[in-house]
Chains A and B, each alone.
Chain A
């Protein structure tokens, strides 16, 4: 069974409510938290693209969670709770790392030359995008392919894309945090989106 970070269930409350709300605090909460370490590490790695930073963020999350077991009371899902804490740690890590200028150089990334190859001389798609089935959001194979395709994006491209689409940063804030120009930011997002959709058409729809 696929036990990826991508599930057909979102992080919103409606989803938790569907899967059984107001469960009592499990007696084995500590074990449950420890069991989720692997999942949390993958979630953090996908966004930070740096093993050491990801491990630190997860470690801080587990420490914070164990120190605040009571704050779990009344919540329905340990994973949702921990992921919520980890999200904040990831944002902190991104901010800290950008202050320390730990991010790699940006040479050449702002060019869209590589994206020109998607189009012919007249500006038409070489491989026109297809209509995707709506029910894919509930499809495990789609979510599995999505996670794989996200991991294949170049590090900074993937990080910027997930800051925008998963962590919900505004582009202006992404530019500020990473010290890049708005144009550069849009190019990275454009590149991420075109690469992801092409990867999904191959990996998931098998086209």
Chain B
């Protein structure tokens, strides 16, 4: 799996459950890829920040 595909799936996983096979492939990619792990954390981070955008 490339970072290009991983990033797309990581975004999609924020909105729906991925099929098992894609989850497994994604996990294998993340184990080996710092950049995509950071990307994944950034998406979670954005979610928390935007949820609390207002006082």
Contacts and interface: CB of A to CB of B under 8 A. Distances in A.
Interface residues of A, number: 48
Between A6, A83, A128, A129, the greatest number of chain B beta carbons within 10 A of the residue's beta carbon is seen for A129
Contacts of A170: 15
A11 B54 contact: yes
Given A122-B2, A123-B5, A146-B50, A171 B15 contact: yes
A189 interface: yes
B45 to A, nearest CB: 6
Interface of A: 5-7, 9-12, 15, 43, 77, 79-80, 83, 112, 116, 118-119, 122-125, 128-132, 136-137, 142-143, 146-147, 150, 161-162, 164-166, 168, 170-171, 186, 189-190, 193-194, 196-197
Interface of B: 2-5, 7-8, 11-12, 14-16, 34-36, 38-39, 41-43, 45-55
